Structure 1
């Protein structure tokens, strides 16, 4: 079939919905705290940051479609009923001839993240489709082997990491453990019925060992050749030792093979931490020593959690660039950030650059608006820890890690005026306390009736438009 036909049906079918699987990365109560002092120190530092950016960028940006998953032959993936799967795969792999991001501008991305108040980055060096956004020696299926090869910044990951380091953000490398382009994962001899490797590893151990070597070598490249790294963020949780498959994993609804897709994480972790001491490893959903924090996807946990975690949530409906995407408002993102932090987590916000290598203007504008709120209210977000009474209606609470300050963050309706009063019925300030409105620095009047606090909002603040949340600070009594 002609490329134009595929391009048309991809836009019509695959951009109509996110096609996300809600239970792929649920929150779990299982967690193992690290014991390595350097990892523990890095983890505490990461828990102070609270807000990060995850960037999905690859071949899928060219047609503006869902990342990688259109290649997967599972019943939740939609393709045209008259299409030929082999033709589709060849068309998708062939997008490497069209991916030429001549306006690639990592400094714009990093500045947008900085302006948004973000404190850490996770960049997709390779998604499930196997296309590498770094100059790996393990495959020719990479950004440095195509029309962009002659560009001074062809080794994309290198320049992304450098740009974000200059802005002072922690640096994380996303890496997909499955690789649907690799003949050692999807052997061309067989069909590809689902996300898993498509041959019995027990019968073909040599082939799987080659895949393990391929994976180890690529992660080694990222850990040794791309500067200081804080996080190794491993996706594709179905690639795991068979003994770690639990009822939680089975609840995903995905096929589970009878063999173990073990890639020897202890060996990978030892190498990676020798190169990057204190490295945080996020082997998503594989609970144990290599899941240093957990990553519920496209959702916020129902309750406060004590162990480290982040909600990874898209700014729009999709992880990568989709031209028809519906972006969340800054107010929506700020509300999610407040809820996440009050429950003890961090928010990793997903954006997708355009195929030319720039961020779309509406994305940049929304990020800047989020940052404007954080400039005035960030003390209630950064360097905080959860407090036992974390919610009273639409008011959430955090507490400073380093001082006796408690913060009350009141979510406001997006299209409604600022109310004359804000109330809550937990975390009552000690007698004689002063309550400060964080955005202005001025003390506000309040009354306490039993366990209920009623704060009077200054008239000038009530006249403000589009205020997503008001933040109040008070000091708790010393122990």
Structure 2
């Protein structure tokens, strides 16, 4: 990496994925389409997803898109001494050197599958407007003649990613940015670009805005008609919304008084005509087209009364950053357990590098997570929340057959289970065999008040030492459904 690139990587830090609060302030509106409801139920069975932020910005190891936004906030920094317009000009030339010759989507899919994830969400276009798919709506795309990678037989990256993950039985999610900072109909060259919003009053210039809406619909049409079965349309950029939903979440750090209404009713109809049952996630907007909600980089304190998904980075950054600070496998597993116990899904993000490779440290973490999932996944997949959800170090999930799994989350210095463990909460059915996942030997147990007291032999305690979390199967603890 060149010295200037290293400087950029140091200056441009991680950023919230939408750089706004990713929670909606309005009421959740339940879906009524039976096909969408069926898909949501399937999505809730998957529980654990894999996300990737990738684009030409990965060459510099900088935050995705946000360095070309001129807001005076930490995540929009540029190198000292360089004029904004000069920086944007250089940034927009990044595609002309983007040649990820080590791109191997089958390997990505294998790594993600071995980690235990069940669905993928891939950035087909981020806010900078560069298309990682073969759009016919413009030339700022991975398959354009001035992009070195365009001659590669795998140049239509989105197609290759979707095909490779679909071959491994993954659910397929298309991340798509509603704002497009490269579009002259969003950031018009007639005016300055003071913030993330479109830079003209849509009430004064409805013709320009209509062109942008038509462009957006055409691209979503492409993604949902030309790329095989798609399960989730994951829309980012929550400040692009109609007037009647505007609030301080939509305003971000520099609000505008005009609406940015891209006609979500028509967009959803179009997308679902191509993909019946498609889950639409209009992040942070609320209403009919936010089929599930996406708390970002955090886990709610309590279960939420609607479908939801915590999206979180494995490192500190959404996109590739050299020497990123990756979370431990133990930390990720325990967060996954906490999310699932509260009824949510967990979407874990890794940013591939400029060559198209997943960083080795991230791959190692994913392998470690996968080893735990191979033993304990039955307590995660197709589970739902069950009271009391959590109690001290314990978390709980239930299966449709009435089995409850109790997770014991050890402290960092706790390497072995105690010889006698009191599990508060749901009681196993009389005569049921209580087991520690990963071992088939039934454990001696009895009820004492509101707790299941389990005796754990020394040999099993030693055998199961150093787990990120221990999981006990409690058959028949709730009525089957």
Q: CA RMSD in A?
A: 1.9
C-alpha separation between the residues in 1 aligned to 2:154 and 2:96?
17
Structure 1's consecutive aligned runs of 4 or more residues displaced over 6 angstroms after TM superposition are: 19-22
C-alpha separation between the residues in 2 aligned to 1:418 and 1:22?
41
TM-score by length of 2: 0.94
Matching of residues 96-115 of structure 1 within 5 Å: 96-115=95-114
TM-score by length of 1: 0.94
Matching of residues 64-463 of structure 1 within 5 Å: 64-76=61-73, 77-145=76-144, 146-246=147-247, 249=250, 253-400=252-399, 402-420=400-418, 421-463=420-462
Question: Could you tell which deviates more after superposition, 289-298 or 449-458?
Answer: 449-458
C-alpha separation between the residues in 2 aligned to 1:346 and 1:4?
39
In the alignment, which residue of structure 2 is the partner of 1:472?
Answer: 472
Deviations 1:27-62 (A, max 9, x none): 657211111111111111111000001111001111
C-alpha separation between the residues in 2 aligned to 1:362 and 1:237?
32
Q: CA deviation at 1:6?
A: 4.6
Secondary structure in structure 1 of the residue aligned to 2:454: strand
C-alpha separation between the residues in 1 aligned to 2:18 and 2:235?
18
C-alpha separation between the residues in 1 aligned to 2:460 and 2:192?
63
Unaligned stretches of 5+ in structure 2?
A: none
Q: CA deviation at 1:432?
A: 4.0
Q: Are the equivalent residues in 2 in contact too, given 1:418–1:461 (CA < 8 A)?
A: no
Identify which of 46, 58, 61 aligns with 1:61: 58
Q: CA deviation at 1:22?
A: 7.6
Secondary structure in structure 1 of the residue aligned to 2:256: coil
Question: Could you tell which deviates more after superposition, 123-132 or 24-33?
Answer: 24-33
Relative distance call for 1:190 and 1:5 in structure 2 (3 A) is farther
Unaligned stretches of 5+ in structure 1?
A: none
C-alpha separation between the residues in 2 aligned to 1:128 and 1:71?
10
Q: CA deviation at 1:188?
A: 1.5
Q: Are the equivalent residues in 2 in contact too, given 1:11–1:63 (CA < 8 A)?
A: yes
C-alpha separation between the residues in 1 aligned to 2:118 and 2:186?
35
C-alpha separation between the residues in 2 aligned to 1:56 and 1:246?
27
Secondary structure in structure 1 of the residue aligned to 2:426: coil
Q: CA deviation at 1:382?
A: 0.5
Question: Could you tell which deviates more after superposition, 412-421 or 367-376?
Answer: 412-421
